[in-house]
Every structure is written in structure tokens, then in C-alpha cells.
Chain A
Amino acid sequence: MEIKKDDYRVCYDQPTATIYCQGSLRLSGMNEYAPIVELLNNVAEQEPPVITLNLTDLEFLNSSGISLISKFVIQVRQKQTINMIVKGSNNIPWQKKSLKNLQRLMPSLILEWE
């Protein structure tokens, strides 16, 4: 599963159950985010024991984007069978600020920084 555009790429690596978000996600509103939502839903439906969300190469994310990720975390939490790891980068300023809130949505979520 992969969505690739000029300035961003979202893909799912099944063997490692890792979702990669890369580049700059600045789509306008939930309508434009729909294909990404679908990809995330698919992953959640498969219910792997651990999902890793790798954001280390995601330079920019707008507000609709952070809402989308938040909703995905809730969806995973509600499954109750999936553990979740989010990987962020120390070099991307917004990540330090925004990703820690994901743990409030899912206290068992593990945040890893590199």
C-alpha cells in the first residue's frame, strides 16, 4: 500500500507493520486526506499485534494531518489488541511539540526519538 505524490509519500510495509509518512503533508481538509485515511483504516483492520508509525521524515504536517493521526491512534486503541509505536525526529521542530499528545490519547503508546 502506497500513496506517492510530488511532496509526500505514505506507505505501509506489511512485514514490519510499519507505516511511513514522509515529506510534507499539507492537504486541505479531510476530503483530500481521504485516501490516507483509507490506508490507515486498512492497516487497523488487519489488527497486527504492533503497528509502528514512522514519522522521522515527515518535515511538515498541517492541522488536518495531525487530527488524522490522532484519530488513527484512537482507532488503534479501541481495537484493544494492537500496541503502537510512533517514531519521531528530534530535528523536526513540530514533532517534539505535537506527538507527545498522542500518548494522552493512548497511554500505552510508545514514542521513540531519533
Chain B
Amino acid sequence: MPPETLSTEQLNEIEQLRQEVEDLKAEKADMEVLLETTLAHADIIESELHELNQRLKLEIIERQQAQASLEASKAELQLLLKIIKEEKTDLEIILETAVEHADFIEALLHTETIRDQQTGLFNRRYLEQSLTREIKRANNNQQFLGIIMLDIDHFKQFNDNFGHEAGDLVLLKISQFIQKNIRSLDIVCRYGGEELTLIMPEASLEVTTARAEQLRQGVKQLQLDYGGQFLGQIAISLGVACFPDHGKTGTEVMQAADAALYLAKTQGRDRVCSAASLPLGTPNLTCERDVPEQLLQIFQGESTVALQSEPTVQKNMSVLFADIRDFSKLSSTMTPKDNFKFINGLFKRIEPTLIDNKGLLARYIGNAITALFSTSADDAVKAAIALLHQIAEYNLTRQRPERLPLSIDIAINTSSIILEAMGGYKQIEKTAISDAINLAAQIQKLNKYYQTPLLISQYTFFSLENPNKYATRLIDQVKISEKKEVVTVYEIFDADAPEIKQAKLATATEFEKGLLLYKIGNFSEAAKLFQYCLSQAPVDKAAQIYLSCCQQGINTTCPSYCE
């Protein structure tokens, strides 16, 4: 077909197509621009992403490294922790060990300070502490408190017979027995030597006494042997006292128990004595056991060197025993409290006189006082004379009719006391002292009979430096009960009224002659001499007695307790 034959229609169509091509061309150019733009953008984005990715990767590595190092240090820390924990445990154990050890050592040392090593009982220090505490408690709660003082009988003999180790064993076994036979709240202590003390809180006198008796019987049943040798029966003496019956303080109650123990000893040992049976108004006792301790100081003060080189030391000791005559008559006019005050006051007055004359106050019991003189017999006699003068002066203040004059009977005895050094300890034989005191006490009773204030034994008489210095005369020769020996007794009348003293001095020779004639049974000659004495001194009671006996032909003037 020719091109002139193209129809309008065809032309239009061509035009339209041309237009379409143009449009497409424009569109393509746009698209190319778009593509180019997009590509460029994508490139940028892609490179940014790449960069970001690189950074992230780096970060991851860094993080991984950090974590690894963290883990490493964690392990390190855990190890450290383990070591520290171990060390802590070690230190805790050391601390615990050290504290337990210290507690144990402390307890051990404490025990040593409150316990007696030999017996395992509490010691005297603990006794004093607990007594104060228990008395306070008893006082607050208005309760009783019983005290038992206990002493092993004939302990020294025991040591002598079987040896000190056997003696130690006996002490230990008795201590153990007592510990097993007390209540849980009781406190048992070694007071010293073979003397034990039992504190019984909340126990009345009856309960305490019953316990004491039970212990006494129990100890008697003990069968002890040492090295296969039977040690024989062992006996104990016990003294009991009770708060508040026998004292308001621990010391007072203990002293009462101690006085009761002394009573048990003097009554023959192996028994229980109660403070209730002590003489009325027993004041402020000084304990018997203090005597040897103080004496020991006297001995040691003078002869320490001698003690080291010699096993024994011997020393003369004079005992002054003074008693208030007819005290019961006097005391019946007073209340018990006044009685107590009176005796205490009196003893306080005379104490300095004894001390000034180098006397050592040993004990008072009831209305009697005992003093010891280790210096010389003369000191004892001087003290006695001074005492009598003092009482005479005192009586001048008792002129009112209701106040009876006071008279004191004094006797002095002198004895040699041996101090033995045994096993490192120096001991004084207690019985030697008790014997000396007992003889003085017996002689003292003669005062009332002969109406004399001061008598001395022959042992004292011959210990005097110069008997002629004193106004003395022989007054009797007596057999003292329990003792077989005959003791010559002398009167010292320095303290008599001056006129009586003069008369007695003037007739002393006749009196003594008369006495000797009387003793050999020549009553008629003796009577003449006594009559002469009475013509000079009518109040001479001894001369009266002897004359009366001569006239009746009685060959003893002595009261029953002397024979």
C-alpha cells in the first residue's frame, strides 16, 4: 500500500504512537535518573551499613574479650575468697582454742585460789568470803545458817605413829567422806591443819547438830589403811553453832562453833557439842587455834636461826587463868544482854594490863580469861598483881548496894612448850598448851576455898627470877584430878590489903612450918602455929581452915575436886 493512501485515521494513529514513544523516552530518562539516584543512594547506604557492621564486629570482639577477662578475674576472686574463708575458719578455730584454753586455765587458777590443794576442799579465804555472803543472805531471807567446826582427834599421835603421809591420807579421806555426805548447798572448807569448817545455809541448830552427829558416826565407820597397814578407828570432835542464835556475824557464829568444839575436846573428844551448851553470855571468844599461831610467831621471832639448825626449840611459857568469883550470883541480877556487856566491858578493861606485861590474850570462855606469857614467869605474876590492883580500884566505883564488889581468882602455871620442826612445818603440840592451861584452871579453883586471889604452881614459883621479890607463902600440896602428880601451890599476896599483907608476911615462916607438920600428921604442933598466925591475922582463911582440920584430925583440907 502507498503512503499517499494513508488515511487520516492511520495518520492519527501514527501520531499517537509517536507521542507514546516520546512519552516512553521521557519516562525512560526519568527512570534512568531514578535508577542512578537510587543506585547512588544504595551505595551510600551499603557502605554505611558495611561500616556499621565492621564496628559491630569490633564491638563484639571487644565484648568477648571483656567477658573473658571478667570471667578470669571472677575465678581469681573466687580463689581468693576460698583462701580468705579458710583463713577465717583457721582464725576462728585459733580464737576459739585460745579462748577455751584461757577459760580453762583461768578456771584452773581460780580453783587453785579457792581450793586447798591437799584435800580439795575450799580454803580459808573462800570460807571467809562465802561466810560473809551466806550470812548476808540468811539475814535478808530470815533464815538459819548452821556452822560446824570439826577437828580430827589425836591427829598428831596419828602422824607420830604412822607417819605424815598416812596422816595426809586420813585428812584426805575424811575430807572426801564429808564432801560426799553434805547437801549440795553446803560449803566445806579446810580451816587449817586438821580442822575443817562446814557452812550449812538454811540449816537450823537441830539440823546442823544432826548432820554433825551423822558425820561423826560416819567417820568412825571409815576403814582406812595405808600401805597395807590398818590405821585404826578415827574419831572426830565437832562444835556446832547457828545464826542468828549464836551470833549476828559470821565471825561470831564461827567463834561460837569453835568454842563448842573446844568444849567437845575438853569433854573427852569424839563427840558433838552445841554452842547452846556453852556458858551463858560467852563473849567474843578468841579461838584456841590462834594460840599456837601467835606462839609460833614468838618462837620464830626469837629463834629463827635455831629453828633452821635444830629440829626442836623449847621455851618456857606461863599461863595466867583468871575467873570472876561467884559470877552466877552477880549475873543472876542482870539480863543476858547486860551480862554480855558487863563481861565484855570488864575484859576490855583488863586486856591492856595483860598486854602491858607482855601477855598474849589467848581466849576467853564464859567468865574466864586465859593469857600466855612467853617472856618470863615474872611477867605473868606482875600482870596478875596489876590485875588485882585494878579490880580493887574498880570496886571503889561499885559502892552502890546493888552493885556487888567484884573479885577475880587468878592462877598461874608455867610449862615448857616444845616447838617441833616437822616436814618443813613448825608445829607446837597443842595438848602441851591445853595441859598447862588445865592445870592453871584446876589451881584457880583453890582460890575460892582459901579465899586467896592469886595462886601459882611450883613450876611457876621455881621459874621466878627471885621469888623473894614477892610476898609468897606455901599454901598447899595437891593431887590434881586426872593427873597423878602432886603439885605444890604457892600463894602470892602482894595485892592484899597492906595490913593483911604485913601480917601474912610476918607469919609466913610459922604458917609454912605448920603446913609441913600438918602434912606429916602432927596436928597438935601444927595447930599451935596456925593459932599464932591467926593471932596476927585473924582473917587469914587458910590458917583458919588448917587450924580447923588440925582440931578435927582431918588429914586433908582439900576439897573433893582436887583429890
Chain A interface (Cβ within 8 Å of chain B)?
Answer: 60-64, 66-67, 70-71, 74, 93-94, 97-98, 101-102, 104-105
Q: Does B143 count as interface, using CB distance less than 8 angstroms?
A: no
Cβ–Cβ < 8 Å partners of B81 in chain A: none
A46 to B90, CA, bound (A): 23
Residue of B nearest to A61 (CB): B101
Chain A residue numbers with a CB within 8 Å of B104 are 93-94, 97-98
- Complex: how many Å from CA A86 to CA B104? 20
Docked pose: A104 CA to B100 CA in angstroms: 14
* Nearest opposing residue in chain B for A26, CB measure: B105
Which of B90, B93, B96, B105 meets A94, CB within 8 Å? B105
Give the tally of cross-chain contacts (CB within 8 A): 47
- State which of B96, B102, B105 has its C-beta within 8 Å of the C-beta of A101: B96
- A67 to B90, Cβ gap below 8 A? no
- In angstroms, how far is the closest chain B Cβ from the Cβ of A37? 14
Tell me which residues from 390 to 423 in chain B have a Cβ below 8 Å from any Cβ of chain A: none
Q: How far is the CB of B101 from chain A (nearest CB, A)?
A: 4
Residues of A within 8 A of B90 (CB): 70, 74, 105
Residues in chain A near residue B98, CB distance under 8 A: 63-64, 66-67, 70
Partner of B102, one of A63, A71, A74, A93: A63
Q: Give complex CA distance A70, B101 in Å.
A: 12
Q: Report how far A51 CA is from B105 CA in the complex, Å.
A: 27
Find A97's partner among B93, B94, B101 (CB 8 Å cutoff).
Answer: B101
B97 within 8 A of A: yes
Instruction: Flag whether B497 is at the interface (Cβ < 8 A).
Output: no
Say whether B108 faces chain A, with CB atoms less than 8 Å apart: yes
Measured in the bound complex, the distance between the Cα atoms of B101 and A109 in whole Å is 19
A93: B residues at CB distance < 8 A: 104, 108
Known A63-B102, A74-B90; judge A101-B97 contact (CB<8 A). yes
Chain B contacts for A66, CB-based, 8 A: 97-98, 101
Taking a contact as CB atoms closer than 8 A, the residue among A60, A62, A70 that contacts B97 in the complex is: A70
Q: Which residues of A contact B100 (CB under 8 A)?
A: 97-98, 101
The answer for the CA separation of A102 and B90 in the assembled complex, in Å, is 10
With both beta carbons as reference points, the residue of chain A lying nearest to B95 in the complex is identified as A67
User: Shortest beta-carbon distance, B222 to chain A, in Å?
Assistant: 28
Residues from chain B with Cβ under 8 Å of A60 in the complex: 105
Check if A101 sits within 8 Å of B108, measured CB to CB.
no
Bound state CA distance, A67 and B96, in angstroms?
A: 10
Name the CB-closest residue of A to B102: A63
What per-residue 1/0 map shows which CB atoms of B80-94 lie under 8 Å from chain A?
A: 000000000010011
- In the docked arrangement, what's the CA distance between A25 and B445, Å? 65
Q: CB-CB < 8 A to B93: which residues of A?
A: 70, 101, 104-105
B-side binding surface: helix, strand, loop or mixed?
Answer: helix
27 contacts between A and B (CB under 8 A): A60-B105, A61-B105, A62-B102, A62-B105, A63-B99, A63-B102, A64-B98, A66-B97, A66-B98, A66-B101, A67-B94, A67-B98, A70-B93, A70-B94, A70-B98, A74-B90, A93-B104, A94-B104, A97-B101, A97-B104, A98-B104, A101-B93, A101-B96, A101-B97, A101-B100, A102-B97, A105-B90
User: Which 8 pairs, one residue from A and one from B, show the smallest C-beta to C-beta distance?
Assistant: A101-B97, A70-B94, A63-B102, A66-B101, A98-B101, A63-B98, A97-B104, A67-B98
Measured in the bound complex, the distance between the Cα atoms of B98 and A64 in whole Å is 7
Bound form: Cα–Cα A71–B90 in Å: 8
Complexed CA–CA distance, A70 and B98 (Å) = 9
What are the residues of chain A within 8 A of B102 when measuring CB–CB?
A: 62-63
- How far apart are the CA atoms of A65 and B108 in the complex, in Å? 17
In the bound complex, CA of A63 to CA of B96 (Å): 11
B208 vs chain A, min Cβ distance (A): 35
Determine the distance from Cα of A109 to Cα of B479 in the docked complex, in whole angstroms.
81
Give the chain A neighbours of B99 by CB distance below 8 A. Answer: 63
CA distance A93 to B102 in the complex (A): 13
Provide the bound-state CA to CA distance between A94 and B90, in Å.
21
**A101 CA / B89 CA spacing, docked (Å):** 12
What residues on B are CB-neighbors of A104 within 8 Å? 93
CB-CB nearest in chain A for B94:
A70
A71 CA to B97 CA, complexed, in Å: 11
Q: In the complex, which of the residues B101, B104, B105, B108 has the most CB atoms of chain A within 10 Å of its own CB atom?
A: B101
Task: Enumerate chain B residues within 8 angstroms of A74, measured Cβ to Cβ.
Answer: 90, 94
A106 CB, min distance to chain B CBs, angstroms: 10
A54 to B142, CA, bound (A): 57
- Which residues from chain A contact B97 at a C-beta distance below 8 Å? 66-67, 70, 98, 101-102
A60 to B105, CA, bound (A): 9
Cα(A71)–Cα(B93), bound, Å: 10
A-facing residues in B80-139 (Cβ within 8 Å) = 90, 93-94, 96-102, 104-105, 108
Minimum Cβ distance to chain B for residue A89 (Å) = 15
Inter-chain contacts of B108 with A (CB < 8 A): 93-94
CB of B23 to closest CB in A, whole Å: 95
User: Shortest CB–CB separation between residue A26 and chain B, in angstroms?
Assistant: 10
Bound state CA distance, A109 and B100, in angstroms? Answer: 20
Chain B residues, Cβ within 8 Å of A102: 97
**Measured between alpha carbons, how far is A93 from B94 in the docked complex, in Å?**
19
The docked-state distance in angstroms from the alpha carbon of A104 to that of B96 is 11
Smallest distance from the beta carbon of A105 to chain B beta carbons, Å? Answer: 5
Q: Tell me the complex Cα distance, A18–B554, Å.
A: 94
Task: Give complex CA distance A60, B112 in Å.
Answer: 14
CA distance A67 to B104 in the complex (A): 15
Distance A111 CA – B97 CA, assembled complex (angstroms): 16
CB distance from A97 to the nearest CB of B (A): 5
